[in-house]
Amino acid sequence: MTNGPRGPLIGGVDEAGRGCLLGPLVVAGVSVSKGGVKKLKELGVKDSKKLSAKQRDSLYPEIMKVANKVTWASIAPEEIDAVVFRGKKLRKLNYLEALYFAKVIDRLGAEKVTVDASDVLPKRFGKDIAGNLEARCRVLAFHKADRDFPVVSAASIIAKVERDRQVELLRGSHGDFGSGYPSDPVTRSFFSDWMRRGEPLPGYVRKSWKTWVKLEQSLTGA
């Protein structure tokens, strides 16, 4: 989605679904003018994890109105598994995310973009992103950027809503597997029953997560 240009743009990028056992990891970006940042503050955007689903759904169209550009990209479970299983050191999930952050940033048309860093070393994450950009852009990476920068908060909301929509489609096709997070007893019960039947884990599941090994051990008593 693109609105008309309104002067130099400021961007923010964040992801949703990193820790989930299933479904895509969604990276989203938002770019706004300086005045747009003020409007985002007035809307009350914040880290998507601090908002209810209803609040996120309500803010989503308002962000779309304020933003010059909103874009997102999904990383499929099989791509996540490939780098977790076979990626070299410093070329695993964090680096895969950096590649997708760069793809999203290239679409934003912003002069400066702040990102929420998944790496324990934010500067390294920012450097990995910058090294894969096609467009000229200054990249700033921080922990808790989704809390401290409204444009990153807006990106976190877009990423979460888009991922929730994709997960809801999976749930509609495959049954109620809960939230998909390791701590969810509904998710654990759903896939415990699946594994007891001797069926291979479905394609929408991230098979590289250690949770599955632990779950299998608990079922077999190994």
> Is residue 199 predicted with pLDDT exceeding 80?
yes
Name the percent of the chain lying above pLDDT 90: 88
Q: Tens digit of pLDDT for each residue in 87-134? A: 998 899 999 999 999 999 999 999 999 999 999 999 999 999 999 999
Whether pTM exceeds 0.85: yes
Question: Quick one: tokens of 56?
Answer: 């996120």
Q: Tens digit of pLDDT for each residue in 147-177? A: 999 999 999 999 999 999 999 999 999 999 9
> Is residue 1 predicted with pLDDT exceeding 90?
no
Location of structure tokens 């003018």: 33
- As a whole number, the mean pLDDT across the chain is 94
Of the ranges 24-28, 178-182, 184-188, the best mean pLDDT one:
24-28
* Residue extents of the structural domains in the chain: 10-171, 174-220
Q: Using alpha carbons, list the distances in angstroms from residue 130 to 26, 41, 92, 135.
A: 19, 27, 17, 9
Domain 10-171 carries which CATH code? 3.30.420.10
Q: Round to whole Å and give the CA distance between 23 and 202.
A: 11
Count, residues in the chain:
222
Q: Round to whole Å and give the CA distance between 5 and 110.
A: 11
